[in-house]
Amino acid sequence: MTSHSVTGARMLALGTALPDKVLTNHDLAKMVDTTHEWILERTGIHERRIGGTTAGLAAEAGRVAIERSGIDPATIDLLILATTSPDRRVPATASTVQELLGLSCGAMDLNAACSGFVYGLIAAHGFINLGHHRVLVIGAETLSRMTDWTDRGTCILFADGAGAAVIERTEGPGDLHGWHVDSNGALEESLYCDFDATIEMSGQSIFKNAVLAMEHAARQSLEMAEMSAADIDIVIPHQANVRIVEASCKRLGIPYEKTSMVIHRTGNTSSASIPLALEDALSAGRVKKGDRLLLVGFGAGMTSAAAVLTWDGK
């Protein structure tokens, strides 16, 4: 359980990628005993995207982020890929992504489940403090390969996608003001996936503990940043379930209207969900330079992570 302040780096640009194939609630109703209304009421999901490989989606998102940043790819010192669904056990899928992008840098996978992108973001700032100039952070998943499509409790949730961010050294204080990461291994059995198996989940346990974990991570990061919930302009939460986000916002005293939500069209994309939601907010004009953002997530483990930053990107 750690909180600390990091300076000297900023998120420069984002990129995202989603598979072409759309799987709607009505499609799922033909596969399992469920309905569009049942899924929507409990999750907020209308549809999700499935297909592709983790490396392929990650590379697509990374390529967009690099192009938008306007940097020379040769100046990237490290690639961090947050994923729970690597294409192979060995080597790291990050190495495949590195090759697809034509990069010459270090590359590693990071598995903190749905908190992974925030973990990666914090790690990138740390690497930059140690001397790196630019780090490419990607959250990418192909959870459809880990899903039991006969289990209506889980197949309605999970999906595929990717989001990437270029993090670079700055001369000033940087954009990250406070952060917090945590894990509670006692809750491991609430959500897990064994080798060559499919996702197992205890929905009630996840709901209760996710709300508490998100609240705690958010409060700790706000305290580190010496800010209050009222100082936040927009919340970028992990897109697991609308109800979880609503309950977390209520406990934090943040209006739900301040959140960026894309779960209705993406489903739960684990480590990709936060960059997907941030990209949507940027595209909609809901984020401008100087805005204060709260990124917060939770995941299997049970991991949790939050970061308070000021938007200074493109």
Q: Which residues are catalytic?
A: 114, 238, 268
C-alpha 19/C-alpha 51 separation (Å) is 5
Longest Cα pair distance anywhere in the chain, in angstroms? 56
Backbone φ, ψ for residue 106 (5° rounding)? -70, 155
In contact, 296 and 214? CB cutoff 8 Å: yes
C-alpha 159/C-alpha 40 separation (Å) is 15
Using CA atoms, how far residue 166 sits from 4, 62, 63, 125, 217, in Å, is 21, 8, 10, 11, 24
3-state secondary structure of 63: helix
How many C-beta neighbours within 10 Å does residue 283 have?
A: 11
3-state secondary structure of 152: coil
